[in-house]
Amino acid sequence: MENRSKEILKKMFGYDSFRPLQEEVINNILSRKDTLVIMPTGGGKSICYQIPALLFPGLTIVVSPLISLMKDQVEQLTEVGITAVTLNSSLSPVQFSDNVSLIKQKKAKLVYMAPETLLKEKTQEILSGEQVDCLTIDEAHCISEWGHDFRPEYRQLISVRSRFPGIVCVALTATATPRVREDIQKSLNFESSCEFISSFNRDNLNIRVTQKDSPLAQTLSFIENYKNQSGIIYCFSRKQVDDLSSILIGKGYSVRPYHAGLPDMQRMKNQDLFIRDDVQIMVATIAFGMGINKPNVRFVVHYDLPKNIESYYQEIGRAGRDGLRSHCLLLFSYSDIYKIKYLIQDNDSQKMRVAINHLNAMVRYAETDLCRRKVLLNYFGEDYRIENCGMCDNCLDDQKAQEDITIWAQKFLSCVKRTGEIFGIQHIIDVLRGSKAEKILRFNHQDLSTYGIGKEYSVRQWQHFAHQFLHKGLMTQDMEFGGIKLTSSAWNVLKGLESVSGRVLPENTAGILTRESAEDREAGYDQELFELLRNRRKQLATEANVPPYVIFSDKTLTEMATLFPQSKEGLLEISGVGAVKLRKYGRDFLFLMQEYCRLNKIEDKAVKSDRITVSSGKPIQKKRHQTIGELYNTGRTVSDIMAMFNIKQTTVLDHLFTYFQEGNPIRIGSIIDESTLSSQQKKIVLEAFNRIGYEFLAPVYSSLNCSVNYEELKILRLYYLYQKKINGEMN
């Protein structure tokens, strides 16, 4: 069976090897053991049950919540020669009858349906005479009352098992906390030993959260970097979707709206245009996207705060399913919290408590100054040990180096106290900046000693400070009315007993986004050939009436434009090209590549011994920390690299740290020369690392009374780790 699984993987799906955990899951299912699979969006969940379905003699039922997801899966399976059908309300009577016939004739290997359809007596009658080997439940978090998307009909699926003795049950989801996983297993009578949990980390996603001040301008600045590329913008309300769509269309963007208020036909048409690459951007409410398996979504924008981390994780998971680098931006505002709380109040008390807890976790994530991956993965019970992921705003932004902001904290907290601890953030900022607003004059706040003492900073900067003060526990905010109150910690700051370290907002956040996108465009493939391949793929997809990615993903085209295969044997070496697709499309793509390579005098590099190794789910281009580490080892200085990439010293040092942590050698003698500290100062810092540890720099910084800056700490941390390594104290 194991060898047969690998044969199907290559022949049908075009992959040489399984992704992490896929093979173990498949073998467990083939051993007829119930299986719970927790795997991130884009992690390859579908193959986990599709390959067993082809090896089982009987039928596999797949429960899916959305018709769009069923349609997408059936199209992709049909394209590689696998007979799969759906039973759902969108089918005409003739189509429904034809699909039932395929089941009865034992031709269909997989049948997709919603839980409501499966629970119907009519469906049970259709399946009663069939050999059903496997029941697969996709989006299994819908089973749990503790999940973010509980659906009662999912809870009833356990009754189906009793109708088919010996059936193996598979539950799959991308979003499940430990509590939700336990509830799923209990509801389906699973054994805990059959739980497979992949890492929740999507390391090709660049994640950014920024304070929302001018959301339209911020969104336009962001999407300008992704011309002719697919993206999704999520909004809170239907009106926002309609308004934003109209504005973007007026500015020349290829956009369609998607929300429940649109007529069904219009909504389906807009969705179809998007998945077929005829429209580049969807502006949608959160109802959109759950069933879309479009792999080449390059960006996701959250125009408003999601209600919970599960939804947020699932929605950013729409980006970069092909493994290529993609960007996710969340615009965060405290006013969004009040809108969500207003809606939550309509729920009963139990549901409201769960929803409030979920919302609070989302807010903590948005506020954090820690690595976003660390916080996100920790929420799902995963311990992420890398200090700097290099792919989130908190790890990337040079401008976010900690500074002493005690004076500004004292100004703000003093103003909160002097205004009576009843006003919101914006009012405090207006007083500090000397506003002559009617509300200021009505309460005589122009007479306060704190009036006008904060004019040197913009409203946006003060908002940024205020959010940090909230996060640090110096003050609390009434979630219903927005009023600010001081905590006991605030009094220590006001009395000068404690200092406050924080981050000053960069002047040009949009510039950061632009620079990162420019980095991403430094791809290691022939972009002209890639566009030719993409255009040919679109032509073939239109002729076949399928989405372009069903033919080949962007990742497959990228690899073609890297290795330039010019023979059938070479094309089969490309990830995503199997025997079926080679037979259907090989001639078209080979002719195009042969002509391009002949005109440009390019040799075929798609020979196994010469192949570039592309790990599953990773971009082909080399990661920035690897490039910087290799450059440094060739003799380039930190200053050289800063100039080459237009980045700051602290970012270069972060990249070198990541490079060294991966086990790579580094020119440590040159690193220590970068330090401007005296020998005695270096000794004190190294002793601090030995006493406190090196994983987090903030405790070391504080222990040295903030006398050594973070750049020096990063230099000496590298030296410290090098010394530990040569002394055999670490691997």
Backbone conformation region of residue 667, classed left if phi is above 0, alpha if psi is from -120 to 50, else beta = beta
On whether both 345 and 442 belong to a single domain, the answer is no
On whether both 209 and 192 belong to a single domain, the answer is no
Mean pLDDT of 126-143: 92
pLDDT at 217 over 60: yes
State the chain's maximal CA–CA distance in angstroms. Answer: 86
User: Where does a domain end: 579, 610, 641?
Assistant: 610
Contact by Cβ (8 Å): 22, 40: no
The DSSP letter of residue 293 is -
Which pLDDT does position 481 carry in this prediction? 66
Which CATH number is 716's domain given?
A: 1.10.10
Residue 488 to residue 494: CA distance in whole angstroms = 10
The residues facing 231 across adjacent strands are 281, 299
Is 666 domain-assigned?
A: yes
Report H helices in 105-143.
Answer: 115-119, 121-127
On whether both 226 and 139 belong to a single domain, the answer is no
- As a whole-number percent, the residues of the chain with pLDDT over 90 amount to 45
Which pLDDT does position 522 carry in this prediction? 39
Sign of CA dihedral 75, 78, 79, 82: positive
Is 515 domain-assigned?
A: no
Which CATH number is 484's domain given?
A: 1.10.10.10
pLDDT at 620 over 60: no
Q: How confident is the model at residue 43 (pLDDT cuts 50, 70, 90)?
A: confident
pLDDT at 518 over 50: no
Which CATH number is 566's domain given?
A: 1.10.150.80
Total domains, the chain: 5
Q: Looking at 56-65, 171-180, 434-443, 511-520, which range is the least confident one? A: 511-520
On whether both 560 and 496 belong to a single domain, the answer is no
For residue range 602-615, what is the model confidence (pLDDT) as tens digits? 888 875 433 334 33
Contact by Cβ (8 Å): 619, 204: yes
For residue range 319-372, what is the model confidence (pLDDT) as tens digits? 998 888 999 999 998 788 888 887 787 667 777 888 888 898 898 899 888 899
- As a whole-number percent, the residues of the chain with pLDDT over 70 amount to 91
Residue 518 to residue 148: CA distance in whole angstroms = 36
Mean pLDDT of the chain: 86
Domain, as residue range, for 712: 624-726
On whether both 105 and 129 belong to a single domain, the answer is yes
Which pLDDT does position 384 carry in this prediction? 86
pTM over 0.75: no
Is 224 domain-assigned?
A: yes
Helix (H) or strand (E) holding 515: helix 509-520
For residue range 2-25, what is the model confidence (pLDDT) as tens digits? 679 989 998 899 888 888 889 999
Which pLDDT does position 603 carry in this prediction? 87
Q: Which residues contact 344 (CB under 8 A, 6 or more apart)?
A: 307, 352, 355, 356, 359
Q: Which residues contact 491 (CB under 8 A, 6 or more apart)?
A: none
Residue 718 to residue 731: CA distance in whole angstroms = 14
Q: Which residues contact 201 (CB under 8 A, 6 or more apart)?
A: 40, 373, 377, 382, 384
pLDDT at 60 over 70: yes
Is 514 domain-assigned?
A: no
Q: Which residues contact 495 (CB under 8 A, 6 or more apart)?
A: none
On whether both 322 and 223 belong to a single domain, the answer is yes
SS3 for 590-637 is HHHHHHHHHHHCCCCCCCHHHCCCCCCCCCCCCCHHHHHHHHHHCCCC
Length in residues, the chain: 731
Which CATH number is 9's domain given?
A: 3.40.50.300
Mean pLDDT of 559-585: 92
Phi and psi for 511 in degrees, rounded to 5? -65, -35
On whether both 176 and 212 belong to a single domain, the answer is no
On whether both 564 and 465 belong to a single domain, the answer is no
- DSSP SS3 for 62: strand
On whether both 222 and 361 belong to a single domain, the answer is yes
Is 568 domain-assigned?
A: yes
On whether both 13 and 135 belong to a single domain, the answer is yes
User: Where does a domain end: 197, 213, 233?
Assistant: 197
pLDDT at 170 over 80: yes
User: Where does a domain end: 369, 396, 423?
Assistant: 396
Which pLDDT does position 582 carry in this prediction? 94
Is 512 domain-assigned?
A: no
On whether both 28 and 132 belong to a single domain, the answer is yes
Q: How confident is the model at residue 432 (pLDDT cuts 50, 70, 90)?
A: very high
Is 508 domain-assigned?
A: no
Residue 493 to residue 499: CA distance in whole angstroms = 6
Maximum average pLDDT range among 281-290, 382-391, 511-520: 382-391
Any idea what the Cα angle at residue 140 is, between residues 164 and 40, rounded to 5°?
130
Tokens at 419, concatenated: 């205004």
For residue range 259-313, what is the model confidence (pLDDT) as tens digits? 988 898 898 899 889 999 999 999 999 756 555 678 999 999 999 999 999 889 9
Residue by residue, DSSP assigns 330-341 as EEE-HHHHHHHH
On whether both 100 and 57 belong to a single domain, the answer is yes
Is 615 domain-assigned?
A: no
pLDDT at 524 over 70: no
